[in-house]
């Protein structure tokens, strides 16, 4: 059976992929204690920021370094890049300290996309863990903008605690929609939490969708994605209809430097979104 991610679509790969373009920091919003969202309008307002759901940019803080960060905004809004990231090192720490108007270099967008077009007329199950909701958010926007083109749409989201829930207001708005199912679970309940408690995979057997044709998009910690894929297979979703977004240490974004090599693949060039049937054997090799 052919993979649903054969010949993956790519969007706006620059003619000079190693040359950053200048962007100024626009809005900055603190999401969690260690996580923030910021917008990047281009220096030239005429420049389009076209991208596909699931793609990433290489963001550079002058004098500090460059890191890959998934785009978390609406693909329909082509006048701005939006990124959500956690502070995990020197570059993201420097980004959090940037003020409005600070200059950042942007290379991209790069990478494969969530197969939202191939999911038309099917049920869609989106499974996110922690900050993995950010790379899936553009897919949600794209699907909801053409809601009538899809069957059931189910979002399953798991975090460590209620305090770690990302995009809380947006989740509440989506949950209030009559044509979308949203289920949130936490590993450990705290405060006045009255929702689900347990790992996100525990929700998969409980939610309604047609496994004979449904497609699943999964992003989160690697161990969570491995077990999510197995649970989806157990439910009846075939391996070619499960898409995962992988993370590796990307440096060049075009498959030249080798930093993100994963077996025979390069995550920056061949991913980050992969069909599960293409990578399932690699996921069992702990050394990778």
Residue 8 has pLDDT above 90, yes or no: no
Order of strands across the sheet that contains 81-86 = 28-32, 35-40, 81-86
Q: What are the pLDDT digits (tens) for 201-213?
A: 999 999 999 999 9
Q: Are 50 and 96 in contact (CB under 8 A)?
A: no
End-to-end C-alpha distance for the chain, whole angstroms: 26
H/E/C letters for each residue in the chain? CCCCCCCCCCCCCCCCCCCCEEEECCCEEEEECCEEEEEECECCCCCCCCCCCCCEEEEEECCCEEEEEEECCCCCCCCCEEEEEECCCHHHHHHHCCCCCCEEEEEEEECCCCCCCCCCCCCEEEEEEHHHHHHHHHHHHHHHHCHHHCCCEEEEEEECCHHHCCCHHHHHHHHCCCCCEEEEEECCCCCCCCCEECCHHHHHHHCCCCCCCCEEEEECCHHHHHHHHHHHHHHCCCHHHEEEECCCCCCCCCCCCCCCEECCEEHHHHCCEEEHHHHCCHHHCCCC
What is the side-by-side strand order in the sheet with 56-61? 21-24, 103-110, 56-61, 65-70
**Phi, psi angles (nearest 5°) of residue 161:** -140, 165
**The pLDDT value given to residue 12:** 47
| Tokens encoding 223 | 């161990």
Check pLDDT > 60 for residue 269: yes
The pLDDT score that the predictor gives to residue 44 is 80
191: confidence class by pLDDT, cuts 50, 70, 90: confident
Q: Which two tokens stand for residue 64?
A: 């500090």
Q: Which residue has the tokens 């863990």?
A: 129
Average pLDDT, the chain: 92
Q: Which residues pair with 67 in a beta bridge?
A: 59
Confidence of residue 90 (pLDDT cuts 50, 70, 90): very high
Position 45 scores a pLDDT of 75
The pLDDT, as a whole number, for residue 276 is 97
User: Average of pLDDT values for 257-276?
Assistant: 95
Task: Choose among 223, 226, 126: nearest CA to 181.
Answer: 126
Residue 269 exposure: Cα atoms within 13 Å on the Cβ side: 14
CB atoms within 10 A of CB 38: 24
Cα distances from 189 to residues 193, 213, 264, in angstroms, run: 6, 34, 41
pLDDT given at position 288: 59
Give CATH superfamily name and number for 21-110.
Translation factors (2.40.30.10)
Grade residue 15 by pLDDT with cuts at 50, 70 and 90. low
Is the pLDDT at 31 greater than 80, yes or no?
yes
Q: Is the pLDDT of residue 3 over 60?
A: no
Percent of the chain exceeding pLDDT 70 equals: 94
Say if residue 29's pLDDT is above 70: yes
pLDDT beyond 70 at 14: no
Range 124-284: architecture per CATH: 3-Layer(aba) Sandwich (3.40)
Does residue 110 carry a pLDDT above 60?
yes
pLDDT at 262 over 90: yes
The pLDDT, as a whole number, for residue 100 is 95
Measure the CA dihedral 164/168/171/172, to 10°.
Answer: 130
CA gap 211, 209 in Å, rounded = 6
Of the candidate ranges 41-55, 194-208, 244-258, the one whose mean pLDDT is the lowest: 41-55
Domain ranges of the chain: 21-110, 124-284
Local confidence band at 10 (pLDDT 50, 70, 90 cut-offs): very low
pLDDT of 144: 97
């Amino acid at each position: 059976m052919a993979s649903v991610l054969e010949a993956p679509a790519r969007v706006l790969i620059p003619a000079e992929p190693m040359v950053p373009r200048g962007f100024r920091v626009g809005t900055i919003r603190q999401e969690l204690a260690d996580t923030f969202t910021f917008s990047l309008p281009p220096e030239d307002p005429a420049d389009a920021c076209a991208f596909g759901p699931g793609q990433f940019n290489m963001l550079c803080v002058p004098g500090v370094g460059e890191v890959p960060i998934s785009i978390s905004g609406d693909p329909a809004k082509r006048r701005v890049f939006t990124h959500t990231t956690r502070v995990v090192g020197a570059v993201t720490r420097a980004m959090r300290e940037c003020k409005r108007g600070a200059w950042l270099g942007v290379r991209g967008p790069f990478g494969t996309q969530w197969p939202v077009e191939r999911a038309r007329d099917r049920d869609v199950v989106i499974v996110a863990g922690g900050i993995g909701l950010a790379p899936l958010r553009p897919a949600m926007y794209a699907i909801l903008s053409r809601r009538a083109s899809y069957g059931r749409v189910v979002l399953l989201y798991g975090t460590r605690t209620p305090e770690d829930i990302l995009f809380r207001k947006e989740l509440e708005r989506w949950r209030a929609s009559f044509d979308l199912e949203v289920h949130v679970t936490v590993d450990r309940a705290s405060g006045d939490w009255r929702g689900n408690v347990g790992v996100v995979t525990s929700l998969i057997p409980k939610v309604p969708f047609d496994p004979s044709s449904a497609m699943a998009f999964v992003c989160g910690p690697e161990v969570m994605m491995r077990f999510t894929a197995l649970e989806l297979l157990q439910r009846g979703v075939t391996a070619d209809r499960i898409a995962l977004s992988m993370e590796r240490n990307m440096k060049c974004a075009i498959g030249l430097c080798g930093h993100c090599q994963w077996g025979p693949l390069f995550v920056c060039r061949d991913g980050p979104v992969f069909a599960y049937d293409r990578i399932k054997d690699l996921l069992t090799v702990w050394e990778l």
